[in-house]
């Protein structure tokens, strides 16, 4: 099997480089031009004709898209560019996957929902993004579905990875610098590790390969739920109990309205994962186990 991975150096892309390697040959690209066995190719997905050429040159059985415009606040001002990367590039991938009779694996977000209520969102619930990033991601999903290609779209939330910066590492750094932290306590969601997102995509793809009727949209996040405030408190307590020298004394809960940002955020990011677990007979871990693992690496314990 030949797999084309786009966005290889993002949080999820990096983990996919590892996880996809058991499937076969992986041609992995970031946004730069690269020399490959299929010629010199661009991985810049905003170059729509270049992207089309790359896919045709590699002719993969599976396209995995880990690239996205993920700067939620900046998307409010770079509207057209966010739309090209998150929506129009997905359309090109889907059209080409359809031509090749290939699978397209793609990631999306709970930000396609409006964040009302307290019930975990099901795949069949009405969408209604509250920011432009969410709207572009939703358009990307819709264009993939309309293309008729075989696809697995995983909607997830609050992604972190051991590599690079993430919310938990930022809290650790601030806990060493400041005596008090103010953290949003009225947004509820589930921190999701890039490792889990990569591993589940591969496990699901292996099954869908033999059962094309599994093509569709799935919600993917660990079990449990938390708030940014409770997540920060968990990270700080963990670090302290593992001997980190922290100066922070108070982690204060604040409301979203006290921390204005260019893009609105949904309050309810809970995702119902029953469809994924039942369709693929998968077990999902609790969110703390992945966060603990990442912290052990970050703290070098
Ligand atoms: P990252 O921001 O870590 O990675 C995104 C990658 O896309 C980066 O490597 C970036 O490259 C690349 N990229 C951006 N624009 C282009 C382009 N024009 N051409 C090629 N590559 C490009 O995101 P994640 O790994 O966290 O996100 C993976 C998926 O999960 C995305 O679909 C995202 O929408 C979704 N998601 C993410 C959430 C989160 O909290 N992060 C929450 C819910 C869903 P560069 O570094 O060069 O800009």
Determine contact, residues 26/60, Cβ cutoff 8 Å: no
Measured in Å, residue 217 CA sits from the centre of ligand 1 at 19
Give, for 36, the enclosing helix (H) or strand (E). Answer: strand 33-36
For 290, the enclosing helix (H) or strand (E) is helix 287-298
Phi, psi for residue 3 in degrees, rounded to 5:
-120, 135
Structural domains present in the chain: 2-164+191-222 (3.40.50.720)
Strand (E) or helix (H) holding 107: strand 103-109
Residues 6+ away with beta carbon under 8 Å from 139: 83, 86, 87
Angle between helix axes 11-19 and 194-208 (nearest 10 degrees) is 50
- Residue 88 CA, ligand 1 centroid: distance in Å: 15
| Alpha-carbon dihedral angle through residues 253, 155, 276, 59, given to the nearest 10 degrees | -150
Which residue's alpha carbon is nearest to atom 4 within ligand 1? 10
With a 6 A CB cut-off, is 44 part of the ligand 1 pocket? yes
Angle (deg, nearest 10), helices 48-58 and 89-100:
30
Catalytic residues: 133
Nearest CA to ligand 1 atom 22: 67
User: What pLDDT shows up at residue 156?
Assistant: 98
DSSP state of 173: H
Neighbours of 261 (CB within 10 A): 11
**88 touches ligand 1 (CB under 6 Å):** no
Residue-level pLDDT at 70 = 96
Q: How many CA atoms lie within 13 A of 116 on its CB side?
A: 7
Which residue's alpha carbon is at the smallest distance from atom 1 of ligand 1?
10
CA of 7 to the centre of ligand 1 (A): 7
The finding on whether 193 has its CB within 6 A of some atom of ligand 1 is: no
Q: Ligand 1, from 151, 159, 162, 198: best to mutate by most atoms within 8 Å of Cβ? A: 159
Region of 59 (left: φ > 0; alpha: ψ -120 to 50; beta: rest) is: left
What is the full per-residue pLDDT of the chain (301 aa) written as tens digits? 999 999 999 999 999 999 999 999 999 999 999 999 999 999 999 999 999 999 999 999 999 999 999 999 999 999 999 999 999 999 999 999 999 999 999 999 999 999 999 999 999 999 999 999 999 999 999 999 999 999 999 999 999 998 888 899 999 999 999 999 999 999 999 999 999 999 999 999 999 999 999 999 999 999 999 999 999 999 999 999 999 999 999 999 999 999 989 999 999 999 999 999 999 999 999 999 999 999 998 887 6
Ligand 1 touching residue 66 (CB < 6 A) = yes
Report in angstroms the alpha-carbon separations of 50 from 44, 104, 216: 8, 18, 27
Q: State pLDDT tens for residues 225-244.
A: 999 999 999 999 999 999 99
Rounded CA separation 78/129 (Å): 17
- Find the angle CA(231)-CA(191)-CA(153) to the nearest 5 degrees: 165
Residue 289, ligand 1, Cβ within 6 A: no
Determine if ligand 1 sits within 6 Å of the CB of residue 31.
yes
Ligand 1, atom nearest to 111 Cα? 43
Adjacent-strand bridge partners of 4: 27, 63
Place of tokens 């990631």: 107
Q: What is the pLDDT of residues 122-173, one digit of tens each?
A: 999 999 999 999 999 999 999 999 999 999 999 999 999 988 888 999 999 9
């Amino acid at each position: 099997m030949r797999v084309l991975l786009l966005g290889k150096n993002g949080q999820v892309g990096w983990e996919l480089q590892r996880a996809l390697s058991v499937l076969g040959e992986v041609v992995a690209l970031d946004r730069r031009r690269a020399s490959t066995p299929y010629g010199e190719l661009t991985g810049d997905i905003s170059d729509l004709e270049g992207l089309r050429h790359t896919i045709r040159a590699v002719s993969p059985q599976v396209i995995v898209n880990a690239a996205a415009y993920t700067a939620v606040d900046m998307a409010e001002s770079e509207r057209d560019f966010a739309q090209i990367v998150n929506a129009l590039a997905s359309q090109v991938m889907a059209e080409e996957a359809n031509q090749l009779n290939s699978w397209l694996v793609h990631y999306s977000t709970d930000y396609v929902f409006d964040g009302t209520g307290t019930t975990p969102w099901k795949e069949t619930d009405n969408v209604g993004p509250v920011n432009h990033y969410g709207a572009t991601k939703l358009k990307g999903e819709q264009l993939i579905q309309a293309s008729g290609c075989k696809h697995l779209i995983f909607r997830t939330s609050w992604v972190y990875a051991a590599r690079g910066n993430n919310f938990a590492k930022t809290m650790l750094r601030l806990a060493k610098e400041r005596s008090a932290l103010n953290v949003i306590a009225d947004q509820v969601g589930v921190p999701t590790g890039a490792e889990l997102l990569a591993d589940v995509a591969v496990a699901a793809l292996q099954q869908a390969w033999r059962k094309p009727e599994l093509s569709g949209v799935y919600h993917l996040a660990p079990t449990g739920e938390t708030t940014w405030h409770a997540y920060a408190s968990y990270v700080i307590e963990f670090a302290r109990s593992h001997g980190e020298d922290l100066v922070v004394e108070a982690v204060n809960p604040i409301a979203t309205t006290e921390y204005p940002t260019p893009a609105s955020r949904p309050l309810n990011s809970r995702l119902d994962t029953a469809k994924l677990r039942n369709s693929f007979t998968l077990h999902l871990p609790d969110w703390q186990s992945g966060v603990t693992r990442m912290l052990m690496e970050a703290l070098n314990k």
